[in-house]
Chain A
């Protein structure tokens, strides 16, 4: 690994200032992607800026009215242990307990998962399904980006030079809503999704009144498929309706073949995983009064 300097700013303005003045700086939260990339030579840095000392990036706040805000550097193990998250966002707890293993979750964050912008990121499809937004700070102030617009290519995203992710905001769950993320991996843990599907569903009097579906590992970025969710609107969550949505998700996918799976296999899994994620989301919506 090439030598670099280390900085740990204590405030957001300080971090933004540092970032703006150091074009080759890299941001360090949990380091579970960055340090691997630096060590393998896939990325280089003159300065590594540790953002974990910035209070705003380390907070979890929840209110039943506004929802959940998760600081960009909050490690998964804190998220999964948070009572309100456990109560209101069970799918988020599941995703946060599937990213890497126990030790990785001691460091890795949802914010890091988003900023790493891998097509296979497990948390991003769920964040999209949950309607999450990303709060970004930079030299020209703050802005909010819907998560489905955040990633632009493998490893690339909307962050402009000098910008950093502050937090993720997830709306309060609607009554009779449910969400899920399911991924297919050949092992049972410690694996990268061959295909993942995130879904959220809201039921009103037994009819779907809102639905969002997003996929991982089937396109250059995590893939939001609005049409799949729209196809479910005003329908009862019948097997046929869910399957139809799953077929739409499958058609939207443009997977590649690599060491984790062939394109044909991924395409096949798109429908399977989407349908299963929808079934789980519906079951949760039905239980969630």
Chain B
């Protein structure tokens, strides 16, 4: 494959752009169906309590109410049933338990019952009429407290109290490695629970038809996962459920799990009408999955040459109410940027009385990178080595083995560090007093997972692309561009449509930075099949054996036809051409990202102003550079918010006191400068165009980069994120 491209690397306008700037694009909450009614969810005010009684009779009696459901409305199923959506096993009891509580509520905001009524106002009034008797239980809100002897136990059936899972990665000889060190630094850092903060609240509309089919329209990162999870929860065959993914208003990992879909379906079954459920912002904060708070210890030893001789980490992540804290990826990535011989990593998945956590952009990695990258900053300072130089001396390379097993193929760690070092930003002086510059890097695996695509050639020479990847930030276009590159067309000659689960082959979530990589590969393969079939048509037309195809032109023996000219003759050469591909790629390429950030800290108030930011990331190959930059800028902004101000502020009873955008304090336009970007391209050998995936690695460095910048500005090494003004002043 040639490395000069016609379409890849350009910046065409997105295919869904006009719809999205004119208000025509239909998001889940925009759906209006005939006879549709609306629902409301009743949530627990207690962080931990036994449910003694639920009386729904007053709600059912309210005029305008069509249906009320509780966990008792789930069909019977074996308690120990395990469901698998291709990305890990989940006990059905956890899945159901989080959707509608049964027996106990495990966090404030836990859904207990749901109502469907003539409109959302009446539904909310009815929900308030449901009587629930609780027996409040003591709650536990942090991992260290939940691991301590005598802590309140969330799940009595667990063997190890609140520790749901433990992992251990070991390689080399840790003691010998530390013995070789001339400097050892050990630090412990905590991070608070934070939310993805997507602007569109979760929503789902369901219609359970009299023929048994369940149709769901929702805001999801993965229509097939939503289908499979809903089918599992409702104990119906997957083929009975059809999910139509609506446009999605952000997800960042938070819209993979199902919350509303099965509830809307149960309500619809009872009411005999389509039922729409839309979360309030407070519901989103308290009733969906934030990403874990954590405590991470990192101990690193280096020799005089600045080479790491040993590294050790202990990680405890808060899973929330049900197991599944992102401690495994946290542990796998804690030292993933570095070539280290002697390593020990221990991780603990700990349940606490907070919302059950979910993925958030490189889930688990920012928490652990914070510890590693601040310890390295301290080491660099103590050794008198430039912090990027220290990292370069230890950077992971092709062949480096990670403690959890795999050896890297090509990896862009050195290239990212070199680009950071060479950037104008890194070489510019700081603007004045109370300013500091911090750097950090981070790794994310990216994902493969199955994807499907169908290409159909139109007689006018354009091509329809049917795919199943929710378009969360321009993937219709990044996929179309890959088809166009193979077919010798322009991006605008491809007409992409994201379709429902009945209309395309299985496709995994838009997550794991995988869509441009994996669905891109399916599109690439389908496009190559189209080329082969078109060549055969040309061969038939010209009665030749072999046809060449280059730059959109078919040729043989001095004859030639453009793609469009040949497309016009398909009818007379055997009929339409339509090709499908389903892939399950193994050649995933991990991505390294780095951040340089300058801050100014007001010594009197502790307030941090972000002055200048440069995000650097290995994209493998940037298909649409503007969208790659956008991912880098977005991940950086989220990481800065996480570092400086965002947190779940819980009172002692486990109630979230800041469950609104006013007090959750995500960055506004006035809180950030322009975010400079440097795209590094170290091609992934596992993808025909070299794509790695760029959605996630960019959020890994900001926590540590901010911490290092604040240290350089104030002389204080903080042991807690968010590093908000009061924390910086120690007040």
Interface residue ranges, A against B (CB under 8 Å): 1-3, 40, 101, 184, 186-192, 194, 258-262, 264-265, 268-269, 272
Residues of A within 8 Å of B125, CB to CB, are 2
8 Å CB contact of A184 from B124, B605, B662: B605
Q: Which residue of B lies closest to A101 (CB)?
A: B668
- CB–CB A190/B663 < 8 A: no
User: B393 on the interface (CB 8 Å rule)?
Assistant: no
Residues of A within 8 Å of B604, CB to CB, are 272
Residues of A within 8 Å of B124, CB to CB, are 1
Q: Which residue of B lies closest to A186 (CB)?
A: B645
- CB–CB B725/A191 < 8 A: no
Q: Which residue of B lies closest to A39 (CB)?
A: B280
User: B1 on the interface (CB 8 Å rule)?
Assistant: no
Counting chain B residues whose Cβ lies within 8 A of the other chain, the interface size class is: 20 to 34
Residues of A within 8 Å of B657, CB to CB, are 258-259
**Knowing that A187-B645, A187-B671 are A-B contacts, what are 16 other residue pairs whose CB atoms are under 8 Å apart, sorted by A's residue number?**
A1-B121, A1-B124, A2-B125, A101-B668, A186-B644, A186-B724, A186-B725, A190-B661, A192-B662, A192-B663, A194-B725, A259-B658, A262-B726, A264-B731, A265-B726, A268-B731
**Interface code B612-647, partner A: CB below 8 Å = 1, 0 otherwise?**
000000000000000000000000000000001100
Q: Which residue of B lies closest to A268 (CB)?
A: B731
List of 9 A-B pairs having minimum Cβ-Cβ separation, nearest first: A265-B731, A259-B649, A265-B726, A188-B670, A259-B657, A259-B658, A264-B731, A189-B670, A272-B604
8 Å CB contact of A268 from B658, B724, B729: B729
User: B667 on the interface (CB 8 Å rule)?
Assistant: yes
Shortest B229–chain A CB gap in Å is 31
The B91-120 residues at the A interface (CB cut-off 8 A) are: none
Can you name 12 A-B pairs with beta carbons within 8 Å? A184-B605, A184-B725, A186-B645, A186-B665, A186-B725, A187-B671, A189-B668, A189-B670, A259-B649, A268-B731, A269-B605, A272-B604
Shortest A196–chain B CB gap in Å is 13
Shortest A210–chain B CB gap in Å is 27
User: B187 on the interface (CB 8 Å rule)?
Assistant: no
Residues of A within 8 Å of B645, CB to CB, are 186-187
Q: Which residue of B lies closest to A190 (CB)?
A: B668
The CA-CA distance from A101 to B671 in the complex, in Å, is 13
The CA-CA distance from A264 to B645 in the complex, in Å, is 18
- CB–CB B726/A184 < 8 A: no
Residues of A within 8 Å of B168, CB to CB, are none
Residues of B within 8 Å of A191, CB to CB, are 662, 665
- CB–CB B670/A265 < 8 A: no
Q: Which residue of A lies closest to B650 (CB)?
A: A259
Residues of B within 8 Å of A1, CB to CB, are 121, 124
Shortest A173–chain B CB gap in Å is 29
- CB–CB B663/A187 < 8 A: no
- CB–CB A186/B662 < 8 A: no
Shortest B249–chain A CB gap in Å is 19
- CB–CB B121/A3 < 8 A: yes
- CB–CB B671/A188 < 8 A: yes
Most buried by A among B282, B605, B725: B605
Residues of A within 8 Å of B726, CB to CB, are 261-262, 265
The CA-CA distance from A54 to B725 in the complex, in Å, is 44
The CA-CA distance from A223 to B644 in the complex, in Å, is 29
**Interface code B699-725, partner A: CB below 8 Å = 1, 0 otherwise?**
000000000000000000000000011
- CB–CB A187/B725 < 8 A: no
Shortest A266–chain B CB gap in Å is 9
The CA-CA distance from A1 to B124 in the complex, in Å, is 8
Shortest A137–chain B CB gap in Å is 32
Given contacts A259-B649, A265-B726, A269-B605, contact A187 B731 (CB under 8 A): no
The CA-CA distance from A3 to B644 in the complex, in Å, is 41
User: B607 on the interface (CB 8 Å rule)?
Assistant: yes
Shortest A32–chain B CB gap in Å is 11
Residues of A within 8 Å of B609, CB to CB, are 188
**Interface code B533-573, partner A: CB below 8 Å = 1, 0 otherwise?**
00000000000000000000000000000000000000000
Most buried by B among A1, A184, A265, A272: A265
- CB–CB A190/B662 < 8 A: yes
The B266-310 residues at the A interface (CB cut-off 8 A) are: 282
Q: Which residue of A lies closest to B725 (CB)?
A: A186
Given contacts A1-B121, A186-B725, contact A260 B663 (CB under 8 A): yes
- CB–CB A265/B725 < 8 A: yes
Residues of B within 8 Å of A260, CB to CB, are 663
The CA-CA distance from A258 to B604 in the complex, in Å, is 20
Residues of B within 8 Å of A265, CB to CB, are 725-726, 729, 731
The CA-CA distance from A258 to B650 in the complex, in Å, is 10
Q: Which residue of B lies closest to A273 (CB)?
A: B605
Shortest B126–chain A CB gap in Å is 12
The CA-CA distance from A189 to B645 in the complex, in Å, is 13
- CB–CB A272/B605 < 8 A: yes
The CA-CA distance from A144 to B125 in the complex, in Å, is 41
The CA-CA distance from A112 to B726 in the complex, in Å, is 30
